[in-house]
């Protein structure tokens, strides 16, 4: 490996978690390389306005917040490049080898995984155009923009019930659209939603199309229904389904997230059944950003199936960078001690 460039730190992901890690790491003179991934900026770029990020009393655009973070990291010396990790050799000792989609291999002494979790979409017509313009995957982020609106929540699990109950604080009415007649949600969450006066349910129903524009936002939506459920699948197979257009001011997807951790297959990094990264606790039982592989750290939604907020992602990004700095210092100390031990006697 003589002459080969080895980075001190690579940050995989350029959402708020990755950018926060990059700012902290760059200020610590770790010269981090940030791989922006296929979706630079992450999920926040799909949010038109962010009103709950500390320090912006008038709100800030999601894209603007990401760009500010990128500029800040660059100011301190972080390097950015387009690239996505497709495989990682983390078990062969130092340095780690990261294979990129373009075939290049990077080598680094430490890795922060901040690749996020992608919200699942349902494939409704116009969802690409209207995501962030009345269509959202986060009620906590965007619910307050829908005061007085009638809104739809698509999904049938605990997340959908939580979204519906949260939206009921702002919206005039919340309709949960579910393709079956049974919810996947836990009984307690389902009962809370059913018992709320502002929450209604449309069973055996799916969202087929969303209407509106980026200027006006969502104006209405087309629903399809069949008494035996899964109406879109039935329609695709030529079965007659009922179609209805309803006036709504917002649509929220709550059909789950998929953490972007496939490149860690075959490594020692531990994940749960859904693919979210496990992080370790220190010797006193306190949370850290460390994973089961020394030198690999997790930040943001990739390790957080619960909160998924920009502010929490930023916090864990700083934790990951601080833990990485401590780890690299320990490597340097070990190296110095080994050199001192191996030095010939005068």
Catalytic residue check, 138: yes
For the question of residue 142 being annotated catalytic, the response is yes
- Do the bridges between strand 96-100 and strand 105-108 make them parallel or antiparallel, or are there none, so unpaired? antiparallel
Q: Using CA atoms, how far apart are residues 101 and 229, in angstroms rounded to an integer?
A: 40
CA distance 283 to 100: 35
Catalytic residue among 141, 149, 208, 301: 141
- Characterize 253-291 residue by residue with b for buried, 16 or more Cβ atoms within 10 angstroms of its Cβ, and e for exposed: bbbbbebbbebbeebebebeeebbbebbeeeeeeebbbb
Q: C-alpha distances in angstroms, 21 versus 68, 212, 316, 318, 320?
A: 14, 38, 8, 5, 6
- The one catalytic residue in 142, 149, 304, 323 is 142
Catalytic-labelled residue, pool 138, 225, 304, 323: 138
Nearest alpha carbon to residue 255 among 342, 172, 157, 127:
157
Q: How far apart are CA 142 and CA 159, in angstroms?
A: 15
Report which of 18, 51, 53, 15 is spatially closest to residue 33, judged by C-alpha positions. Answer: 18
Point out the residues that are catalytic.
138, 141-142
């Amino acid at each position: 490996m003589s002459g080969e460039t080895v980075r001190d730190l690579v940050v995989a992901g350029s959402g708020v978690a990755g950018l926060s890690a990059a700012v902290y790491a760059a200020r610590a003179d770790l010269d981090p390389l940030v791989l922006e991934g296929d979706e630079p900026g992450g999920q926040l770029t799909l949010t038109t306005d962010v009103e709950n990020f500390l320090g912006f009393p008038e709100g800030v655009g999601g894209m603007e917040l990401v760009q500010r973070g990128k500029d800040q990291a660059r100011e301190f010396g972080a390097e950015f490049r387009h690239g996505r990790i497709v495989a990682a050799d983390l078990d062969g000792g130092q340095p780690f080898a990261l294979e990129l989609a373009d075939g290049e291999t990077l080598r680094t002494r430490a890795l922060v995984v901040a690749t996020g979790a992608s919200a699942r979409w349902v494939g409704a017509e116009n969802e690409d155009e209207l995501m962030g313009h009345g269509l959202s995957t986060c009620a906590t982020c965007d619910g307050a923009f829908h005061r007085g609106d009638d809104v739809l929540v698509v999904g049938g699990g605990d997340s959908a019930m939580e979204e519906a109950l949260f939206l009921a604080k702002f919206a005039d009415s919340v309709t949960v659209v579910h393709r079956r007649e049974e919810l996947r949600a836990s009984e307690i969450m389902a009962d809370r939603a059913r018992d709320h006066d502002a929450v209604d349910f449309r069973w055996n129903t799916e969202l087929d199309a969303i209407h509106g524009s980026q200027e006006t936002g969502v104006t209405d939506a087309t629903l399809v229904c069949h008494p035996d459920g899964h109406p879109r699948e039935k329609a695709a197979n030529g079965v007659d389904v009922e179609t209805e257009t309803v006036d709504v001011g917002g649509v929220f997807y709550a059909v789950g997230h998929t953490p972007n951790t496939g490149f860690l297959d075959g490594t020692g990094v531990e994940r749960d059944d859904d693919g979210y990264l496990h992080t370790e606790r220190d010797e006193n039982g306190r949370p850290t950003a460390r994973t089961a592989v020394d030198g690999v750290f997790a930040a943001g939604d990739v390790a957080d199936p619960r909160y998924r907020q920009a502010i929490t992602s930023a916090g864990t990004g700083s934790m990951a960078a601080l833990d990485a700095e401590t780890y690299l210092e320990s490597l340097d100390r070990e190296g110095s001690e080994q050199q001192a031990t191996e030095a010939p006697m005068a």
